[in-house]
Structure 1
Amino acid sequence: MSSARRRAARPPLPLPLAVCTAVVVAAAGCSPSDGGAGPAAPSPSGRAAAVCRALHGKLPERVNGQERTEPDPASDFTAAWGDPTIGLRCGVPRPEVLTPGSEHYNPTSDAAEVNGVSWLIEQRAGGYRFTTTDRAAFLEVTVPDAYAPEVGALTDLAAAVRSALPLGTPPPAPADG
Structure 2
Amino acid sequence: MRSAHERVPRRWSVLPLALAPVITLAGCWSSGDSAGPAVPSPSGKAAGACRALHGELPGRVNAEDRAELDPASKYTAAWGDPAIELRCGVPRPEVLTPGSEHYNPLADQAEVNGVHWLIEPRDGGYRFTATGRDAFVEVTVPDDYAPEIGALPDLAKALRASVPKTEK
Report if TM-score (shorter chain) is over 0.5. yes
Within 2, Cα distance between the matches of 1:161 and 1:103?
30
Separation (CA, whole Å) in 2 of partners of 1:83 and 1:102 = 34
> Could you tell me which residue of structure 2 aligns to residue 37 of structure 1?
35
State the alpha-carbon separation in 1 of the partners of residues 77 and 34 from structure 2.
12
Q: Of residues 123, 126, 141 in structure 2, which corresponds to 1:125?
A: 123
Separation (CA, whole Å) in 2 of partners of 1:105 and 1:37: 31
User: Equivalences for 1:141-160 in 2 at 5 Å?
Assistant: 141-160=139-158
The 2-side partners of 1:154 and 1:77 are apart by 17
1:148 and 1:37 map into 2 onto residues whose CA distance is 24
Which amino acid in structure 2 is aligned with residue 108 of structure 1? L
**How far has the Cα of 1:133 moved from its partner?**
1.1
Stretches of 4+ aligned residues off by more than 3 angstroms? none
Residue correspondence of structure 1 range 1-177 to structure 2 within 5 A: 36-168=34-166
Paired residue for 1:27? none
TM-score, length-scaled by structure 2: 0.79
* Alpha-carbon distance in structure 2 between the residues aligned to 1:133 and 1:49: 15
| Amino acid corresponding to residue 123 of structure 1 in structure 2 | P
Q: Say which SS state the counterpart of residue 108 (structure 1) adopts.
A: coil
Matched residue SS, 1:40: coil
CA distance in 2, matches of 1:127, 1:84: 11
Tell me the alpha carbon deviations over residues 29-55 of structure 1, each in whole angstroms, 9 at most, x when there is no partner: xxxxxx611111000011100010000
CA RMSD in angstroms, aligned pairs only: 1.3
Q: Percent identity?
A: 72
- The aligned amino acid for 1:100 is P
Aligned partners of 1:168 and 1:49: how far apart in 2?
14
- Counterpart of 2:42 in 1: which secondary structure? coil
CA distance in 2, matches of 1:77, 1:160: 14
Higher-strand-fraction structure: 2
Q: Secondary structure, in 3 states, of the residue corresponding to 2:41?
A: coil
Structure with more contact order per residue of length (Cα contacts < 8 Å, sep ≥ 6): 2
Q: Secondary structure of the equivalent of 1:53?
A: helix
Aligned length: 136
Q: Secondary structure at the match of 2:45?
A: helix
Aligned to 1:25: none
Instruction: Name the one with the larger helix percent.
Output: 1
Runs of at least 5 residues in structure 1 that lack an aligned partner in the other structure: 1-34, 170-177
